[in-house]
A and B are shown apart, each in its own frame.
Chain A
Amino acid sequence: MSLSFNIPFLSLFLALLSAIASPLLRREGWALNLVRAVQLAVAALSALLLAKLWQMGESFTYRMGHFPAPWGNELKAGPLEALLALAFSLVMFLSLTGGAEDIRRDIRTDRQGSYCLLMQLLYAALLAMVYTNDLFTAYVFIEIAAITACVAVVAKESGKSVVAAIRYLVFSCLGSGLVLLGAAILYSITGHLLMESLGQAVSKLAEEGRYMVPLTASALLMTLGLSIKSAQFPFHAWLPDAHASATTSASAILSGLVLKGYIVLLVKLILRVFGGSLLASLYMNDLLFLLGLTGMLFASVAALRQEDVKRMVAYSSSAQISYIFLALGLGSRAGLAAACFQVLAHAFTKPMIFVGAGALIRAGNGGHYWSDLRGAARRDPLAGVAFTVGGLSLCGLPLLAGFSAKYSLAVAALTAGWETMPALFGLAASSVLNAMYYIPAILAIWSQRKEAGEGRRLGGTREHHLAIGCFLVCNVVLGVAVGPILNVIYRGLELM
């Protein structure tokens, strides 16, 4: 067992440790620097792991504390998990960097350490969800993620944020509850919690045809629960409020990462626990597909009518999540791969948009509405560029991440059965809708402001520029290096 096999555990450990340490650091800015340093370190470690696993061509399981199954905990890592961990770490780092200015402004100084604690815990939870191999751990970290995310929303104190956080909490608990219920059912009929064993037990049950109703119920409950938590239509109502009232980095991470964590779990459930064919026979695939299709359209239509930029982007996130559900619903390996690619693409694009929007709100007169943002990009061009490139990526301009995601989704749809045409039409319609709300937004931020004080260029901080620059580079890399990345994903799915 090579040293690099320790990396998953190490990542988790570092994250948790730095989380606990950060409120202890009273010096201003040190907490933030600590957590970001850890994230970078974990990113580097994940990259190493990825390289190693790719070279070796296999995945491994890591038993926590050397307790054998079925009592102990397990982590499982393959190329895909390493890639996801790398991506999540990077995005976390860049979001916190890009939103640093807003953290300093929106959150009271004495609370900033606590905020970093929350963020780091959330980060740890995400890593856990990526690496975990058993349902119990998964559930624990789901709860941790939910709580930390809720509190992060409240961090920026305002009446609205409290209401939003409570709403989020309610939905979240509902979702977790459903997941717990599903897990409980599974445990009761199979007696296992580790995903591998669960998988074997479930397939045996399915062959024999026993306990079909509980199996179906379990699958349904867990899917629904995770859908609620990842803001899939029609359960997305909590997301816009949460976004609108949170600080920039919180919104970015919420949209970009938290929602994805649950999806990664769902992918694991599909691959390891239930198996594709069982789900297909239970019509779960069709459910996912339909949820995705309707979500794409309705969420986009809702986005059209928004006056507040952050709410609009929130609805847009919901629409993008629907792409993932659509891809999952195709039921093929290609569909899963497309879903994973979209996870990556969205994880890098949405935070970039939020970071850009945050800066633009500052460059405007602080209001969230379009009328306040008119001409803001002229004062902070880099933020404008970030927002523009993000928007264009979501509209499907080739060579950017969004296009490659759509493309892989379309290719996956080609080999599906009856789903091909609806999927393609849905993609087309949603691209149009995307364009209809992003491009007027882009035009608005670049248009001339007919007032005095125009042309006053705001100096953004260096870290802000760094964050945006890196986001842009990552976006283009995702757009251009589609081939290699998809290869990694496919291999990872095989080894999952």
Chain B
Amino acid sequence: MLMLCAVFLPICAGAALPLWRPHDRRTRQDYVVGAACATAVLALLAVFTQAGSAPLVLLRLNDHLSVAFRVDGLSRVFGTMVSLLWPLACLYAMEYMSREGAEDRFFAFYLAAFGVTLGIAFSANILTMYFFYELLTLVTLPLVMHSMDGKARYAGRVYLVYSMSGAALGFIAMVFLLQYGGDIFQFGGSLVSGAVDKNILLTAYVLGFFGFGVKAAVFPGHKWLLRASVAPTPVTALLHAVAVVKSGVFAVIRITWYGFGPDLIRGTWAQDLMLAAVLFTIVLGSSKALQTQHLKRRLAWSTISNLSYVLLGVATLTTAGLVAGLTHMVFHAVLKITLFFGVGAVHFKMHRDFVPDIEGCGPLMPVVFSTFTTAALGLMGVPPLAGFSSKWMLATSSAALDTPLGYLGAAALIASAILTALYLMQIVLLAFFPRQNRAISVKIPKKARRDPSLRMTLPMTVLAVASVVLGLCANQVARTISALVLG
């Protein structure tokens, strides 16, 4: 029951918002943040108390189809991550959106997206997950298109087309799972063996991988994430760095480990194809990030690359790889959200969007840039901060495959790490070390010469500290995830 409350409360709260139309910003803030926190509390309670209980069937459509919810290990990891990040993001968004307008509509969908993401986390079978997956696309679409100008509309259209195409491919995989699999996700696969020719099953799986992988921005389904960077920063930060893309990864993990099962796919052409696609995306994302001069797009490419790190762990089809991937998923979420918050703060306060314009902004916005630097160091993989151990574990599990693709995977990770260092440090260096002959010409109005207000700096600081702590305790984090998922 708790699960259902956690899922539906924010949807209802969000739906109520445009009907109620609070007059005053303060009231809206309290309502939104309150709703987010309440949901987070419910979700966390569900995660901690309802693990391992029987699935709750809400609707039964026929023998194979039902809408059901359950909390298992993977749900707990994903659900906790999402629940802890959403209230912080709401707080940040309150401040940011005060200059963008149409806040009622925005927060209605923002809260609803929270509920829908929790729905994905707590789904017990593939139909439920698919339903919430489609809903997620629909609910986040207005957020992407928020500013309703030409670029936003185009971005929305691209997002839609890609997402729907992905869902259509995922539909095929889903049909196979529904027909030949058990009713509920089972760790290790729920397919009843022997029913269908293996190659057909593998084809269905590959379609599902690329289909659900569109949200996880695997090549060739990655273009939408770049276009979506025209959305307001709270959207790109939370949804496109954390919720939507991680839901994509989550869905891929579900169909791989809990649906078709790793034993089916291991060692086949399907695994090779997955590994190749993932490898390519890792390197593509990092190289393009270095070439892009637009800050948010650079971070978007970085997200594309990092998501494929997680998928590399999944594609190894070993438990070590899965744990490594999940660890990186958690770390990346925290780090990327901090980076996006920083970039958003710069846009908000100083209206600058491009890397060369960042010059010298470091001392003017010390909190923003120090959190940015901390997160950047983490993402680069400087030990002992967060990114290093997760990347190391990923590379280890990839090399452990003992095949050419496995080794290439480890090499790709390291190459990507080098590129990451370059494209992130460039921003940090430019911010803190302005060139002498430009320092004079950079005009910064006096009233903007400070960090944004507490509502924005507090989440950033909390997240930066969290990333450091997570890094130092990386071992514990990995062990906890392993215990939760593997049982």
Contacts and interface: CB of A to CB of B under 8 A. Distances in A.
User: Are A and B in contact, CB atoms below 8 Å, in the complex?
Assistant: yes
Interface of A: 392, 395-399, 404, 406-407, 410-411, 414, 420-421, 424-425, 427-429, 431-432, 435-436, 439-440, 443, 447-448, 480-483, 486
A411 B180 CA distance: 10
B324 to A, nearest CB: 32
Nearest to B130: A398
B96 interface: no
B67 interface: yes
A247 to B, nearest CB: 32
The 3 tightest CB contacts between A and B, nearest first, are A483-B62, A435-B164, A398-B131
A436 B175 CA distance: 22
Contacts of A424: 172, 175, 204
A250 to B, nearest CB: 31
Nearest to A425: B172
Contacts of A486: 62
Nearest to B61: A482
Given A414-B175, A480-B59, A480-B61, A397 B148 contact: no
A427 B171 contact: yes
Contacts of A480: 59, 61
B131 A399 contact: yes
Given A397-B131, A428-B207, 11 more contacts: A396-B134, A396-B168, A396-B171, A411-B175, A435-B161, A435-B165, A436-B160, A436-B161, A439-B141, A443-B145, A482-B61
Nearest to B129: A398
11 contacts: A396-B134, A397-B135, A407-B175, A410-B172, A410-B175, A429-B168, A431-B168, A431-B171, A436-B161, A440-B157, A447-B148
B197 to A, nearest CB: 10
Nearest to B170: A428
Contact of A431 (B135, B157, B160, B164): B164
A contact patch SS: helix
B27 interface: no
A404 B130 CA distance: 13
Nearest to A428: B168
Most buried by A among B127, B153, B156, B164: B164
Contacts of A407: 65, 175, 178
Contacts of B402: none
B440 interface: no
A53 B388 CA distance: 69
A396 B167 contact: yes
Contact of A432 (B60, B63, B168, B200): B168
A427 B138 CA distance: 20
A396 B138 CA distance: 12
Contacts of B65: 407, 482-483
Interface in B299-319: none
Interface in B189-204: 196, 200, 203-204
Contacts of B172: 410, 424-425, 427-428
A399 B67 contact: yes
Contacts of B203: 421
Contacts of B141: 439, 443
A428 B164 contact: no
Interface of B: 59-63, 65, 67, 127, 130-131, 134-135, 138, 141, 145, 148, 153, 156-157, 160-161, 164-165, 167-169, 171-172, 175-176, 178-179, 196, 200, 203-204, 207
Contact of A406 (B59, B131, B138, B171): B171
Contact of A411 (B130, B131, B179, B196): B179
Contact of B171 (A410, A439, A440, A483): A410
A421 B197 CA distance: 13
A405 B293 CA distance: 47
A420 B161 contact: no
Contacts of B148: 447-448
B9 to A, nearest CB: 20
Contact of A397 (B134, B153, B179, B200): B134
Contacts of A397: 131, 134-135, 138
Contact of B200 (A404, A406, A420, A435): A420
A41 B203 CA distance: 51
A482 B65 CA distance: 9
A250 B131 CA distance: 34
A482 B131 contact: no
Contacts of B157: 440
Given A424-B172, A439-B160, A483 B131 contact: no
B179 A414 contact: yes
Contacts of B169: 428
Contacts of A395: 164
A432 B179 contact: no
A425 B165 CA distance: 11
Nearest to B131: A398
A352 B171 CA distance: 25
Most buried by B among A398, A432, A439: A398
B212 to A, nearest CB: 13
Contact of B164 (A410, A432, A448): A432
Most buried by A among B59, B169, B172, B204: B172
Contacts of A410: 171-172, 175
A489 to B, nearest CB: 12
A440 to B, nearest CB: 6
Nearest to B63: A483
A432 B161 contact: yes
Contact of A483 (B61, B168, B204): B61
A29 to B, nearest CB: 36
Given A432-B161, A448-B148, A404 B168 contact: no
Contacts of B138: 392, 397
A309 B141 CA distance: 22
Most buried by B among A392, A421, A439: A439
A482 B63 CA distance: 10
B199 to A, nearest CB: 10
Contacts of B176: 414
Contacts of B200: 420-421
Nearest to B59: A480
B171 A428 contact: yes
B174 to A, nearest CB: 9
A133 B118 CA distance: 54
B444 to A, nearest CB: 34
A410 B175 CA distance: 7
A249 to B, nearest CB: 30
Most buried by B among A392, A410, A429: A410
A351 to B, nearest CB: 23
Contacts of A392: 138
